[in-house]
A and B are shown apart, each in its own frame.
Chain A
Amino acid sequence: MGPFGKTIIPLTMLKREKFIIILTALLALLPLSQSRFYIFLGTDILIMGLFAMSLNLLLGYTGLVSFGHAAYFGIGAYTCALLMKKAGIIFPLAFIGAMVAGVLGALIIGFFCVRLTKIYFAMLTLAFSQIVWAIVFKWNSLTGGDTGLIGIDFPAYLDSSVRFYYFTLVVVAVSLGLLQRIVNSPFGRILTTIRENPERTEFIGVNVKLYQLIAFMISGLFAAISGALFGIFNHSLFPDLLYWPQSAEVLIMSLLGGIYSFFGPLVGATIILYMRMLVTSYTQYWPFIMGTILAFLLFFFPGGIVGFLREKKVFKWLK
């Protein structure tokens, strides 16, 4: 086949799918280490990695800087936990409930946000996430407010950290597979044209705001999935996880890993969480160190770590 043969570009996508499978298989071996530390860290990284990748659908692919992504994470976490704890609903249904809540939350908030652009868009996402935070913080009878929601148990059949790790791994792998499909779909391509040039995209016949809103909802869905996992993983929830620093942290993870690469945010989440684990056992100045890393990064590796490695052609195939 010629240079435009049908087999050339789709291969990279198959590679990405293959990579997810290989990665999942490798990560499935982690519990063999029998290290509670690594199983804990692994679960944490998978959850936050999915959260960061859900954000990146907006950030890297659609060009929308959401500064309030903790809202959907928190909505997912609280919905799942409250449905289980207060309504006595079984875990699978509560989990689906969290997904629905994440999508609806993103639909309502996104409906207003996509009407604005740039810094105004970012500020509005922040404002809405603070509103969601305030509701959770003040609604004591439902959420426990500042004292948090404590005693969220593992569902009966996931009642060990190893089992929950495997459950998380499967959920995250499937989610990445779906996200990967979406960014390589016609819809995903139109999102990148919106990122590059919304005005022009309108005049190839695309209803830009509608597409942005749909991206928002998909992003909210995966953020809510990661949030639901997070609540069960921690057995407790506090309003903090909806507060703005949580939104900033996930933004930093994405930037660190690289927002223009599919796996970048996952890499960023891995590095941040691993380093935080290391650093906080020596010093309490983690924010100082993270700030330094971030400043260094923005100056020297504007494309993030994966962007930098790709530029150096370390793994050309890992888009």
Chain B
Amino acid sequence: MQNPSDYVSIGIFALIVGGLGIVIVTLGALFRPKNPYAEKLTPYESGMPQIGSAQQRYTVRYYLVAMLFVVFDIEAVFLYPWAVAFNALGWFGLVEMFLFIALLLVGYAYAWRKGALDWIS
């Protein structure tokens, strides 16, 4: 910041914008017809009656699916560079990768056994 007075114009601009907004909203509130009643205040649902409330609880099942997706997505992410560097890594890389997949398989079997893959249970 070279000179604080450079920012005075921005301050004036902000004041005018804020003031104009307040004036317009206030004038509108004073002059417009105001006639609220229960049907008018209902949320717009394309004219259909509302069913339930917007604050209702919903299933967390998708959370499980998302977690499983992350696990297997990371597996895929690791598999690609491994496949690219396969020749350089040699036998060590192959064994390491199969160990990694075996660990994930244990997790997969656990999730399956626990019923995380059944959508309805």
User: Do these two chains interact?
Assistant: no
Residues of B within 8 A of A (CB): none
Residues of A whose CB lies within 8 Å of any CB of B are none
